[in-house]
Amino acid sequence: MKKFMVLLLLPALILHRQSSAQTIDSLAKQLPSYFSVLTSFGLRPEWDEKSENIYFLDKMAGNVFKINLDTRQISAVTSNFYHGGIFRCMCLSNGDLLLGVGGKVFDADEPEKNRHNLEMFILRKDNNKIPISLGEFCDEGPAVSRKDMKIAWTLPGQREICLGEIKYVDGVPELTNKKTIISYKDSSAFVRLETQDFRPPFDDELIYTHYWGDARDAFFHSDTYGYNLKTGKIVNYTNSPGSYDEAEGIFPDGKYTMIESDRHQKARLQYKVDIYRLKLDGSGEVERLADFSTRYPGKLRSDNPVVDKTGKFIAVQFGFQSGSGNGQGIFLFDLDKYEKTKKK
């Protein structure tokens, strides 16, 4: 019976993929020249350590793929071992991958049930068949350093942020020097936290998102914050209580970071976000770089932007206004072309 059900589902899945590709093609024809389509499937892009490839997931609780920027060839990365669904893929400074895996057993009835309780694994670049567990769990995506093996992650429950370092002992990665740096564990405040990036060029500040609210508004309020790892000082970089401002990929000079924001909407609508560039000087100055949610109201958005090591290209997810992190396709944003267009 299960085999028969899978056969029935295949035509629907094929039609969905075709429909998604058609929607992306339609969008691409309307967007400016500084946007180009990389893939018509996939979500949560991540640059490799050399900015030669972009890693991405084929779906939530899926597998990791990568696309080469020169050849545009797509290849599977995590098809060599069994897992319970991969939700996060981050590239470490040495080229190894930090994976957030939703358990060792995949549950087809509830594929996303472990989304907020992910076991962290290291997948060696020179051996992608044997992921090694760090023995630690995270909620949402960890932050990884571009210059060393430092990582930060939010504990399940999103009330605490920890800091640690990955070291290799006889080729085996281990998580060391773990400590809690931010905690609302014993607070009554309605707060959730999510790590994002270490701020270049010194990586002495952690950029993260601070959500607040309650079950009634589903934590649709958020600001982009910074935590100084040396002094413990905390800075609110967006300070915009009337909007949703989630931290995303950071620029290599540390002067700007990308955010997802709904500030262009009259009401607080987290799912109607688009990507903005935020200046990290305390001014709160932002610039909107995409208007997907305006062009396709009620359907699409731009989200999950990540910046390459040159600061010239941004990989952007083609997102759906149907849930956090949902997407179907990756775009490339050329900042040089964008700046030239602005000057005309």
User: For residue 311, how many other CB atoms are within 10 A of its CB?
Assistant: 16
CB distance 231 to 191 below 8 Å: no
Q: Tell me, what's the pLDDT at 184? A: 97
Residue 76 contacts residue 82 (beta carbons within 8 Å):
no
Instruction: Give yes or no for a contact between 328 and 304, defined as CB atoms under 8 angstroms apart.
Output: no
Architecture of domain 30-343: 6 Propeller (2.120)
Instruction: Judge contact between 44 and 86, C-beta under 8 A.
Output: no
Whole-number pLDDT of residue 325: 66
Q: What does 132-168 look like in DSSP terms, one character per residue? A: EEEEEEESS--EE-SSSSEEEEEPTTSSEEEEEEEEE
Place of tokens 């594929």: 111
Long-range contacts of 169-178 (CB under 8 A, 24+ apart): 171/124, 172/132, 173/96, 173/122, 173/124, 173/132, 173/134, 174/134, 175/120, 175/134, 175/135, 175/136, 175/151, 178/136
What is the structure's pLDDT at 51? 98
**How far apart (Å, rounded) are the C-alpha atoms in residues 185 and 270?**
25
Q: How far is CA 217 from CA 193, 214, 240, 288, 324, in A?
A: 16, 6, 17, 25, 14
Assess contact for 142 and 90: CB atoms under 8 A: yes
Cβ-in-10-Å burial (0-12, 13-18, 19+) of 197 comes to buried
10-residue averages of pLDDT along the chain (344 residues) = 35 45 72 92 96 96 96 95 93 98 80 90 92 96 97 97 97 97 94 97 97 76 96 97 94 98 77 92 97 80 96 92 73 96 82
Residue 4, pLDDT score: 33
Domain ranges of the chain: 30-343
- Following DSSP, what letter does each residue of 158-217 receive, concatenated? SSEEEEEEEEEETTEEEEEEEEEEEE-TT--S-EEEEEEEEPTTTT-EEEEEEEE--TTT
The predicted pLDDT at position 13 comes to 35
pLDDT at 324: 64
* Nearest Cα residue to 259 out of 272, 273, 271, 269: 273
- Residue closest to 340 by CA, chosen among 303, 301, 312, 309: 312
pLDDT for the residue 12: 40
